[in-house]
């Protein structure tokens, strides 16, 4: 799963976000597979920015696919997945091909 790949990075309060995700109901919200989280966890994450971790890999046509984990008011809210040129994703790359980024 993509969020497991994101959580493989070391960043502030990653474990709190992992707990929130584990205690969430999830709804797919678009054709790219973006997810909306509704966490039942009482734990809040003390992240420094709305997107504490992201990842990128290329689609079959070499256009980048971005994955962003959104956190609002200490709660994971969305796993956003989109293609850089706005076109439809042709083939989701293997999870291990996603390069993970943690902003400083």
Residue-level pLDDT at 12: 87
71-96 tens-digit pLDDT = 999 999 999 999 999 999 999 999 99
Higher pLDDT, 2 or 20: 20
Tokens 């609002």 sit on residue: 72
DSSP 22-65: HTEEEEE-STT--EEEEE--------SSS--EEEEEE-TTS-EE
DSSP letter, residue 13: T
CA angle (83, 85, 89) in 5-degree steps = 35
Report the chain's mean pLDDT, rounded to a whole number.
94
Domains in the chain: boundaries: 2-101
């Amino acid at each position: 799963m993509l969020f497991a790949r994101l959580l493989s990075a070391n960043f502030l309060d990653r474990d709190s976000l992992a707990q929130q995700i584990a205690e969430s109901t999830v709804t797919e919200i678009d054709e790219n597979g973006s997810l909306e989280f509704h966490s039942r966890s009482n734990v809040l994450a003390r992240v420094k920015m709305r997107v504490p971790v992201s990842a990128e890999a290329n689609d079959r046509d070499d256009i980048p696919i971005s994955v962003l984990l959104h956190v609002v008011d200490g709660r994971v809210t969305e796993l956003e997945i989109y293609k850089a040129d706005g076109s439809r994703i042709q083939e989701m790359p293997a999870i291990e091909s996603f390069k993970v980024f943690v902003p400083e």
